[in-house]
Structure formats: C-alpha cells, structure tokens
C-alpha cells in the first residue's frame, strides 16, 4: 500500500512574512494546491473558531495562517469562502466570534467571503456505517462548494486527548447534533462519534496550525504553547497521527486515530507515512496532558475506583454571570439556575466538559482528585 504523505514545516511565529513563506513551502512539498484542487473550484476553508477568543489565546486557527492559505488558494485560481459554526452559534454568537478571532481582518486582507454558515441552513445526511452516530445535519453550504480545505488548530482536549484535523469537522454540524454526539459518554465512545462525523465529510486537504497551540486543559481553557510547526496532508488521519507523535502521544492511545485505523480511513502509524520537509524529530514536544487523561488511559482504575480518577466540573459562584451558555450546550441537562449562578447536578453529569469549554467567564473550575493531581505532577 502506498504511504500517505504529510508535509511538515517549522514556523516559529505568526509574522506575516514567515507564515506566507511557510505555507507556500508546506503546500509546495505536497505538489501545491493543484494536487488536491482545480482552478475555478469553489472552496470552503474551514478554520477552528471554537469561541470568541483573541488569536493569542490559541483557541482558534490564527488569522495569519488563514490569510496565507486563502491567498495561496486564490492565486491558484479557486474561489474561496471561509467560516465555521462556533460553539453557541445557535444563540447568535458568530459575529462576536468573527470579530474577536480576527476573521473580519482575514476577509478584508484576502477578499474572501466570510460565511455565516448557519444562514444557509442544514441538510440531514445518513452515516450508514457510523458506530455511534447514524445521521447528522451538516451545514448545507457543503452542497454549494466543490471542496473543503480543513485548517485546524493543534490543541490538547479534555474529551479526546487532542484535537486536530478529524475533530475539526465536528464543527460543521448543528448544536443539537453535537449534544447528541456528546451523549456518547466516555473517551472511546465520544471519539468514535467524532470519527463517524468526520467520515461523512472528509476534506480534500488538511492544514494544521501548530505554530502556537494549546496543552493542558484544552481545547479552550488550556495553556497556549509554542509548538513551532505547520502540517498539511490530504489524509486527515495521517496528519493527526504525525501531530500526536509530535506532542509526545502514541498514536494508539488517541481513540480517534484508533477508530479511524479500524475503519481504514487513513494512515494511522508513522510506518505508513512519508513525512516531507522538516523532520519530526526537529519539532518533538512533550505536551502537558489534559487532567482528564488518567481516566482515559487507565480504564481499569476508572472502573474499580471511579471517583479517584474523575475530574469534575464545578461552578465558581464568584465568577458565574448566569449567562446560560453552559446550560444550552449541556448534553445531559445537568445544569440549572436556581439562583444567581449555575448549578451542576453531579448525578446527571456525563463529564463531557462542554460547560468548561464554552464558559466565557472562566467560571467552570475542574475539581481534580488527589490521584489526578499526583498524575499531573509526575507527568510534568
Ligand atoms: S458557568 Fe459560565 S457559561 Fe455557565 S452560566 Fe455561569 S458564566 Fe455562563
Ligand atoms: S455539566 Fe458540564 S461536563 Fe457535565 S454533562 Fe453538562 S456540560 Fe458536560
């Protein structure tokens, strides 16, 4: 079987001259946009626009990477629009996200259309081979474009250990579909649901912004960390596999990669991947794992001594503004508002951490057990 190809380019900053040169080299190593697209194609560039956060918080794909990618695709001859469905888009947060994350400037500098995807509606599609999700409602705009170019952000993730190319496609579904997917409680079931959704709309080209990513309690409240590289590939699984190894994970401990491997969705081992450009050893990093990781990786401990490995979300009453956003995304309807702040019913909570991820006021703390704190100290 032919090896998948992933291009890797070291890129130390978001200085426009450096990102432009690096993106051109990154795509050139794969044969240029023409290896995946044709001139005249209408292309949706799909960034990760998780929430209304400034680019330096490293929650979202950096505007300079998008500018470089879009300019490259446009100069190749594609018609480009770009956009995502941020968490909370259903309550009108998209314009705020666009403004905070620097997307308005991307549109101004590139001339590409900044699409408000929810305006085009959604279309139901079946996923006959889905393991956890058998149908979704995906952004209808996908039927109006010829290709998707997935421009993801590399971060650790409280639910899936890491987020990269496969996970980014989750953002093209409705809020309700995301809530349903989150009801697949647990590391492996939720990761399988993500792969189901990815399998229903694989992008033509995947580009990863790992110049400054995030480690620790990602994908929203972790620590921005300079990883210093970019990846690109037509194979999203291969790209995630290289990213996982760069962060210090084994590919087989990332449940999304394992699920994709079992379905032959892409290359899931370094031995199946040809890395072109800079070497993987030149960017290897030991990322701090999310505090939830111990319960993923030691399931026998979790089963026997459940509370010892759990990381529970807890509302910080001093910070909570009772805005309701956490309640709107909670898949278990475990959040109520009995007074001036939110309250979590631990008995219903699925530990999906969506409330922690979406809270704009940093009012969801993580209550870590003694064992989890020890594990974090050991892993550094
Ligand atoms: S915890 Fe955060 S998201 Fe939830 S109501 Fe309070 S401020 Fe809003
Ligand atoms: S309370 Fe928070 S962590 Fe628990 S199920 Fe709801 S959103 Fe998920």
List, for residues 308-361, the tens digit of each pLDDT value: 667 889 999 999 999 999 999 898 999 999 989 999 999 999 888 899 988 989
Same domain, 165 and 210: yes
Rounded CA separation 220/355 (Å): 10
Rounded CA separation 287/217 (Å): 11
Ligand minimally distant from the alpha carbon of residue 323: 1
Same domain, 27 and 155: yes
Cis status, amide bond into 244, omega within 30 of 0:
no
Ligand 1 atom 8: residue of nearest CA:
323
pLDDT recorded at residue 305: 45
pLDDT recorded at residue 91: 66
Q: How many domains does the chain have?
A: 2
Rounded CA separation 105/98 (Å): 9
- Does residue 288 lie within any of the structural domains? no
Contact by Cβ (8 Å): 90, 119: no
Atom of ligand 2 nearest to the CA of 332: 5
Best of 187, 316, 331 for a ligand 2 pocket test (most atoms within 8 Å of beta carbon) = 331
Q: Average pLDDT, stretch 21-31?
A: 98
CB neighbours of residue 327 within 10 Å: 17
Which residues pair with residue 350 across a beta bridge? none
Q: Which CA distances in Å does 196 have to 138, 173, 177, 260? A: 13, 12, 12, 9
The better pLDDT of the pair 217, 127 is held by 127
- Does residue 74 lie within any of the structural domains? yes
- Give the CB-side neighbour count of residue 8, counting CA atoms within 13 A: 24
Same domain, 151 and 184: yes
- Residue 314 beta carbon below 6 angstroms from any ligand 1 atom: no
Q: Is the pLDDT of residue 301 over 60?
A: no
- Does residue 259 lie within any of the structural domains? yes
- Does residue 287 lie within any of the structural domains? no
- Does residue 217 lie within any of the structural domains? yes
- Band the pLDDT of 263: cuts 50, 70, 90: very high
Question: What would you report as the CA-atom Rg of the chain, rounded to the nearest whole angstrom?
Answer: 20
- Band the pLDDT of 304: cuts 50, 70, 90: very low
The domain spanning residue 335 has which CATH number? Answer: 3.30.70.20
pLDDT recorded at residue 298: 58
Same domain, 66 and 126: yes
Q: Is the pLDDT of residue 303 over 60?
A: no
Same domain, 248 and 343: no
CA of 356 to the centre of ligand 2 (A): 8
Q: 140 is written with which tokens?
A: 């209808």
Rounded CA separation 336/195 (Å): 31
CA of 174 to the centre of ligand 1 (A): 21
From 282, 312, 332, the end of a domain falls on 282
Rounded CA separation 106/28 (Å): 22
Contact by Cβ (8 Å): 155, 222: yes
- Does residue 95 lie within any of the structural domains? yes
Same domain, 229 and 153: yes
Same domain, 209 and 334: no
Taken as a whole, the chain contains a residue count of 380
pLDDT recorded at residue 357: 87
- Residue 342 beta carbon below 6 angstroms from any ligand 1 atom: yes
Contact by Cβ (8 Å): 103, 60: no
Same domain, 98 and 145: yes
From 228, 248, 282, the end of a domain falls on 282
Report DSSP state, residue 2.
P
Range in 208-212, 266-270, 297-301 with the lowest mean pLDDT: 297-301
Specify the DSSP element, H or E, that contains 342.
Answer: none
Atom of ligand 2 nearest to the CA of 351: 3
Q: Is the pLDDT of residue 291 over 90?
A: no
- Does residue 242 lie within any of the structural domains? yes
Residue carrying structure tokens 């023409």: 34
Q: Average pLDDT, stretch 283-290?
A: 88
Q: Average pLDDT, stretch 11-26?
A: 98
Same domain, 126 and 229: yes
- Give the CB-side neighbour count of residue 214, counting CA atoms within 13 A: 27
- Does residue 261 lie within any of the structural domains? yes
Q: For residue 224, give the 3-state DSSP assignment.
A: strand
List, for residues 162-201, the tens digit of each pLDDT value: 999 999 999 999 989 999 998 998 899 999 999 999 999 9
pLDDT recorded at residue 290: 86
Best of 182, 183, 332 for a ligand 2 pocket test (most atoms within 8 Å of beta carbon) = 332
Same domain, 170 and 237: yes
Same domain, 263 and 363: no
Q: Average pLDDT, stretch 203-208?
A: 98
The domain spanning residue 34 has which CATH number? Answer: 3.40.50.11440
Same domain, 312 and 181: no
Rounded CA separation 138/332 (Å): 22
Domain containing 263: what range?
4-282
């Amino acid at each position: 079987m032919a090896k998948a190809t992933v291009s890797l380019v070291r890129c130390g900053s978001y200085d426009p001259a450096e990102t432009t040169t690096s993106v051109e080299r990154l795509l050139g190593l794969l044969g240029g946009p023409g290896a995946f697209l044709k001139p005249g194609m209408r292309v949706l560039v799909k960034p990760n626009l998780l929430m209304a956060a400034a680019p330096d918080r490293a929650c979202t794909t950096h505007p300079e990477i998008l500018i470089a990618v879009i300019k490259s695709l446009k100069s190749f001859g594609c018609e480009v629009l770009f956009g995502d469905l941020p968490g909370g888009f259903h309550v009108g947060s998209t314009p705020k996200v666009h403004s905070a994350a620097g997307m308005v400037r991307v549109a101004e500098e590139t001339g590409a259309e900044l699409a408000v995807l929810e305006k085009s509606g959604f279309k139901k599609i079946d996923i006959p081979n889905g393991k956890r999700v058998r149908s979704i409602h995906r952004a209808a705009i996908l039927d109006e474009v010829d290709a998707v170019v997935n421009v993801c952000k590399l971060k650790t993730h409280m639910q899936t250990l890491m987020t990269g190319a496969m996970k980014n496609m989750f953002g093209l579904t409705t809020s309700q579909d995301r809530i349903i997917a989150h009801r697949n409680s647990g590391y492996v079931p939720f990761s399988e649901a993500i792969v189901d959704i990815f399998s229903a709309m694989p992008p033509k080209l995947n580009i990863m912004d790992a110049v400054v990513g995030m480690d620790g309690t990602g994908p929203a409240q972790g620590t921005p960390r300079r990883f210093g590289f970019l990846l690109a590939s037509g194979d999203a699984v291969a790209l995630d596999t290289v990213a996982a190894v760069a962060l210090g994970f084994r590919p087989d401990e990332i449940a999304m990669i394992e699920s994709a491997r079992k379905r032959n969705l892409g290359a899931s081992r370094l031995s199946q991947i040809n890395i072109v450009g800079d070497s993987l050893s030149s960017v290897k990093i030991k990322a701090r794992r999310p505090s939830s990781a111990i319960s993923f990786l030691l399931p026998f401990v979790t089963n026997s001594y459940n509370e010892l490995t759990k990381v529970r979300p807890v509302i910080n009453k001093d910070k909570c503004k009772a805005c309701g956003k956490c309640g709107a995304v909670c898949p278990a309807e475990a959040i109520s508002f009995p007074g001036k702040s939110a309250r979590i019913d631990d008995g219903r909570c699925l530990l999906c951490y969506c409330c922690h991820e979406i809270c704009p006021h940093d009012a969801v703390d993580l209550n870590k057990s003694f064992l989890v704190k020890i594990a974090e100290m050991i892993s550094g």
